[in-house]
Amino acid sequence: MPAIAYLECSRCHAHLAADTPQTVCTQCKDQPAGALYVRYDLSHLHGTSPRDVVGDGDLPWRGMWRYHAVLPDVEPVTLGEGWTPMLHSRRHPGAWLKEEGANPTGAFKARGLALAVTMAKHYGLRKLAIPSAGNAAGALSAYAAAAGIEAHVFMPRDVPIANYVEVTAYGAHVTLVDGVISDCGRMVAERKQQEDWFDVSTLKEPFRVEGKKTMGYELVEQLGWEYPDAVFYPTGGGVGMIGMWKAFEELEQLGWVKPGRRPRMFGVQSSGCAPVVKAFDDGAAASSAWQNPHTAAAGLRVPKAYGDYILLEIMRESGGMAVAVSDEDIFASIQDWAAHEGILLSPEGAAATAAYAQLLSRGVLDPSDRVVLFNTGAGLKYIDVIASALHLKAPGQA
């Protein structure tokens, strides 16, 4: 595992030291201050074969820590996150589904929060706070419990019940908020100083992106160290897309990916909350806060992403685009993939599969294009949401 050389601002490219906990850039002249990337000196790995460096060695299952050579040199707080299945679709010869529902806490949020809590423990932080649509709160609560650190979670009151149950069971301090994630974020920001909380909001500390970059390494490794043509990623705050793009840059520097074009990156949102899609279509450099956001895909109910400027740049540079799908299409895709592929998608994952179907029918993509669709969470975490969409009641309930 390499030592962290420095943290680099995504806006002004200032370098910050990583020997104490950092939040966002302290050098940016313009606000909001830039998110920070973790940088290492990886020169000793240049020209190596990933087969010699990546992997579990003699150790038992290590999940995303198989990429220890490109992660911070600290003792992991792990629950077995990462190395999730890459499932070839039974109907679409070009499509692979990355099953992130197989992570601890049933969502890809485990990767980012495993690393954020690992670093919090390393720095000796005692109290962490998070605004969340639900799954990030679940993941923080689990890893904080494992690390013996306090978790303070703020979620919308209408969060899926699984998230409420899990954070309570993990022993987190829970606040339910009448509002959406941005209202939760405001509450954390108002209280954190007085309460001595470290804020692990999306992109307001550097390690959630760094943990999620392992999705980029994994998808390339699972496809034989080759890029797919396209990646579909359900985008709320967009941390996964930012992390994967960072992974691609590192993979190219290391020479670990076969030469080829980086995948076209498709960010998928719900038409009930699509600020990044609007900004993409308008040719804007950043998004405006979406008014009255509503969607059953709880993780996509993010009115304004802190890193919107990064997402828009990635999608444009990669030749991808931002795509909106309706909640109707999301639930139709859940039923379709459950009945024909045996996979119960989360509503967010089903946004990706629905967007793939939309772009095939619009001729933007060809069925022979190799695409990776991210199911970012397990459908079973949304049992109340899916039951309601399918008009199902619990058996035995009048």
Ligand X SMILES: Cc1ncc(COP(=O)(O)O)c(C=O)c1O
Strands (E), the chain: 4-9, 15-16, 36-40, 86-88, 95-99, 127-131, 150-156, 173-177, 198-199, 230-234, 264-270, 321-325, 371-375
**Which of Zn ion, ligand X, none interacts with 293 (beta carbon under 5 to 8 A by kind)?**
none
203 contributes a contact to Zn ion by CB under 5 A: no
What tokens appear for 106 in the block?
Answer: 């049933």
- Nearer residue to ligand X within complex by CB, 201 or 256: 201
Single out the residue of 364, 377, 360 nearest to residue 92, CA to CA: 360
Question: Where does this chain bind ligand X (CB under 6 A)?
Answer: 107, 109, 133, 135-136, 202, 234-240, 299, 346, 348, 376-377
- Nearer residue to ligand X within complex by CB, 108 or 256: 108
CB 72, CB 114: distance < 8 Å: no
Taking the complex as a whole, the smallest distance from the CB of residue 379 to ligand X amounts, in Å, to: 10
208 contributes a contact to Zn ion by CB under 5 A: no
Residue ranges in 27-86 that form contacts with Zn ion under rule CB under 5 A: 27-28, 34
Q: What is the DSSP string of 153-188?
A: EEEETT--HHHHHHHHHTT-EEEEESS-HHHHHHHH
26 contributes a contact to Zn ion by CB under 5 A: no
Q: Where does this chain touch Zn ion (CB under 5 A) — which range of 7-15, 232-240, 260-268, 284-292?
A: 7-15
206 contributes a contact to Zn ion by CB under 5 A: no
Taking the complex as a whole, the smallest distance from the CB of residue 18 to Zn ion amounts, in Å, to: 15
Taking the complex as a whole, the smallest distance from the CB of residue 309 to ligand X amounts, in Å, to: 15
Residue nearest ligand X (C-beta atom)? 299
CA dihedral 181, 184, 188, 189 (to 10 degrees): 70
Between helix 347-361 and helix 327-341 the angle, nearest 10°, is 90
CB 160, CB 136: distance < 8 Å: no
Applying CB under 5 A, among 7, 9, 70, 244 the residue interacting with Zn ion is: 9
Taking the complex as a whole, the smallest distance from the CB of residue 303 to ligand X amounts, in Å, to: 12
Residues that bind Zn ion (CB under 5 A): 9, 11-12, 14, 25, 27-28, 34
